[in-house]
Chains A and B, each alone.
Chain A
């Protein structure tokens, strides 16, 4: 017996009954289109060729759900792919769990699922497991998504902060601040938002290409929340070495710089969703840079600095445009817009 589908998500969609079944069969499975998930088993069976796997999970609560350059669905897939990619793995499979607020328009859910499915397909990753929960209005903000992912570690690749050495180069795969400034400007309804686009993208193809073709990559991380400043601080803290970066070498799009300037943000602290930082030995740095530049997601890549000996404490230092020096701190949370 078929039940007429409402236009909005009801609590009953998460109740495990007919509405849940219809939601899964009519809205979720057709988009994900793969045999593993179509079995609707309690767990997905995977055949992996490598004995070494990487496993990661992340939850996504972005507001607004749709932004210039992406949406929460694409973000949830790309974000977890990127966590696997920068760990030196080739992503294989993801799970996708939805926590939906009662009242969400089903056509919005369709859009989000379509874009998650497209992102997975484009990156040869299967979404093989999932879950749907519905909470009453007010208990969540429209939709929250969790993805977890499994990737096969590339043979011979073993990244770690313990390998970071003095003299290594700091490679950044492209412009910074695009994602964060897009979200901030859309949230604040600021007029220049049309010029800024999130960099939300999956990096696995590019990172695999670098790792398969060069030997000198020591460590990689994607500078998401907290931006480049956070990632570099994590690297110095974890490695015990200091890092020196050159302001003039750090790529950033002009509208992003202008927006950050206007709102009183430091572009170094702004989130990215399609960039990575790699610490590379000096003899491999140029080769890694060239591979980046040939890939659409790495065309603006640059060597932005180097690893140096830490004096008193491992710090990130910035050599500014005028040749001055200052410290780049771990950002301390949400910065408030300045007032004049």
Chain B
């Protein structure tokens, strides 16, 4: 193992020498972020090679307007909010589900659990807070189609599902971006397939390398990115070949397509991105929370001073935010990146590398 690490390190060093400037590599997956911090990968890399945590954590990319909408729905009588755990603590403009404490929030581990809640509570309407990328979208789709088949009418979803590729394209389209390459998410790519990155490579000439979540696989991915940078190439490559295919999981893709269609939607930090979110197809609109309750997600300005948006775009590192480690900590999070264990701010706070302390 040490030999493979050493090999990758040599490539990283060479890349830094050959580009003669700082190299920024962005990961767009919360699991990568956690693995990178937990294994101390940054401490094994050359000083001039930097890892940026991009919009890869589903909780973090969910915009304030969506959170506010969830909080509004949680105030309604006869509504049960079914949500993944992290969302409970994400602050909206005015409190969080946890602080609101209406005793109508149920933490679920899957969309199936949310549907079960609907079966068990026929006198309540279950609103499933459906967030996540292409990895969790198929499971939501399955729950919706099951609800449809079983004629369950007290179940609806608030789709916050997002697509990774449009976000990566939006980041690179910003002229202030400083991204040299992407370390692409393993789980998402299992679903969408590595071919999905070809438009990024051809349009922006940035290497896209898919890696698994073991520290060794990440280092191997960084080695491959370095090789491409040295050779001035930009290719789609997977070092996670055991599970990632070029075309992805076509069954899961079909499940998504049968239920959802892309629409223009909001991201924290990135604003509105074309065709970047999933909404239910018209034939499933009765499961759409917004239609059922006549509400909609509105863009909201964040006045808390939180700079999660800039962190997600790789424009700043968490300690550069004035709130980091002071007003904002895992105990008292101001922004979502400090709430989620996969958020860049929480990971930085918890595992901050030696010599890079907050204060």
Contact = CB atoms under 8 A, between A and B. Distances in A.
Given A326-B43, A327-B354, A338 B136 contact: no
Name the residue in A320, A329, A336, A339 with the highest tally of chain B Cβ atoms < 10 Å from its Cβ: A339
Contacts of B187: 340
B86 interface: yes
A264 B31 CA distance: 9
Chain B interface, DSSP helix/strand/loop, else mixed = helix
A333 interface: yes
Nearest to A334: B85
Contact of A322 (B86, B215, B354): B215
B37 interface: yes
B1 interface: yes
Interface residues on A, range: 20 to 34
Contacts of B219: 322
Contact of B215 (A266, A321, A325, A332): A321
B354 A320 contact: no
A330 to B, nearest CB: 10
A259 to B, nearest CB: 13
Interface residues on B, range: 35 or more
B5 A320 contact: no
Interface in B318-359: 329-331, 340-342, 349-354, 357
A323 interface: yes
A35 interface: no
A339 B340 CA distance: 9
Contacts of B351: 326-327, 329
B341 A264 contact: yes
Given A188-B109, A317-B354, A336-B341, A324 B30 contact: no
A336 B85 contact: yes
A326 B37 contact: yes
A138 interface: no
Interface in A282-340: 312, 317-327, 329, 332-333, 335-340
A264 B350 CA distance: 14
A181 to B, nearest CB: 16
A335 B88 CA distance: 12
B331 A339 contact: no
Contacts of A317: 354
15 contacts: A320-B40, A320-B215, A321-B1, A322-B5, A324-B39, A326-B38, A326-B39, A326-B353, A327-B351, A333-B330, A336-B107, A336-B341, A338-B340, A339-B340, A340-B31
